[in-house]
Amino acid sequence: MNRTRLAIVAASILLFSAGAQAQQQYQPSTPRPPFDQVEIKTTDIGNRIYMLEGEGANITIAVADDGVIMVDTQFAELNEKIKATIAALTNLPIRYLIITHFHRDHTGGNAGFAQDGATIVAHENVKAVLTTGSTNGLTGNVVPPAPVDALPRLTYTDAMTIHLEGHTAQLMHEANWHTDGDTYVYFPEADVLVTGDIVTFGRYPNIDVPYGGNINGMIEGVDALLQLANDNTKIVPGHGPVGNKAMMREYRQILVDARGRIQQLITEGKTEDEAIAAKPNADYDVALGADAQRAGNFVRVVYRSLNN
């Protein structure tokens, strides 16, 4: 074998090796939920505001005198169940559908509600990602562009207010928290704060690093929400039960501790896989009931955001 052929073979081996390592970066996808078995649970928060739980993100329903403000939609496969649950609460139409960010467990049902007349509202970056499609940074799964009906009709840059009779929704955005398009929503008449995935209770959050998410930004985001909330504020997280300011402080501590522990591993020269093997958040893994995949994925996204 001459030198030229040896060089070609060596280059091919290197390319194959690099490609294999890139593939190993991706993690197994979560199995598809059994949507036919999902039940929608309703929690009455008070002041005609309700949280709906099913599969995926929490949904918030604010019933005003002249219509409904809805926040997030879960998956399209659950549209009819969700609509039936809302109909049991009120016969008023959904006037506005606010989307907290682009992930499909928050936006999958958009089109079905828009076709019924709801105006979709979101940060301008959410519309941009839904229009082009996205790629999951952990699994590599490609989400195709959303249909036109699923796209926001109203977008904003920094802040926006929606008024109905009896309820006001204050929409606010800061870049590079959970994603680059997060919206959190405050209903001042009811003192209810809807956080999207900036806050999750009872589980680790995702941090979407390829789309602007960052552990430092997450902590800054929680700090901003803590400034907005008072001790009586009811907090609807992206996932988990309705909470309060004390619970949000505890959640912040998890983020701060994880950042410090994983930064120390990076400083020591640990690779991403070595950091996961070190189980830096073992105490929180137990407290949150996180299996190996969830615990590892949380370390991955914090590591990547610190090492980005």
For 213-257, write each residue's pLDDT tens digit: 999 999 999 999 999 999 999 999 999 999 999 999 999 999 999
Query: What does the pLDDT look like over 176-220, one tens digit per residue?
Result: 999 999 999 999 999 999 999 999 999 999 999 999 999 999 999
Residue 156: strand pairing partners? 123
Give the chain's count of helices (H) and strands (E): 10, 14
CA distances from 88 to 112, 242, 243 (A): 18, 21, 24
pLDDT score of 25: 65
For 129-133, the CB contacts below 8 A with 24+ separation are: 129/102, 129/181, 129/211, 130/102
Is residue 122 within 8 A of residue 183, CB to CB? The reply is yes
Burial of 235 (0-12, 13-18, 19+ CB in 10 A): buried
Instruction: Specify the pairing of strand 154-156 against strand 119-123.
Output: parallel
Among 18-22, 82-86, 208-212, 237-241, the range scoring the smallest mean pLDDT is 18-22
Query: What does the pLDDT look like over 131-143, one tens digit per residue?
Result: 999 998 898 989 9
What's domain 37-306's superfamily in CATH? Ribonuclease Z/Hydroxyacylglutathione hydrolase-like (3.60.15.10)
Give the chain's mean pLDDT.
91
Q: How many other C-beta atoms are found inside a 10 Å radius of the C-beta of residue 143? A: 17
Question: How far, in Å, CA of 214 to CA of 216, rounded?
Answer: 5
Q: How many other C-beta atoms are found inside a 10 Å radius of the C-beta of residue 257? A: 14
Which residues, 6+ apart, have CB-to-CB distance to 38 below 8 Å?
54, 55, 78, 81
Question: How far, in Å, CA of 215 to CA of 208, rounded?
Answer: 10
Q: How many other C-beta atoms are found inside a 10 Å radius of the C-beta of residue 16? A: 10
Can you read off the two tokens belonging to residue 141?
């799964």
The answer to whether residue 21 scores a pLDDT higher than 60 is no
Ramachandran region, residue 120 (left: φ > 0; alpha: ψ -120 to 50; beta: rest): beta
Torsion angle defined by CA atoms of residues 196, 201, 202 and 207, in that order, rounded to the nearest 10 degrees: 40
pLDDT score of 213: 96
Can you read off the two tokens belonging to residue 73?
């939609």
Which residues, 6+ apart, have CB-to-CB distance to 236 below 8 Å?
45, 51, 58, 60, 71, 192, 193, 194, 195, 242
CA distances from 98 to 32, 77, 182 (A): 25, 19, 11
Rounded to 5 degrees, φ, ψ at 68 are -120, 140
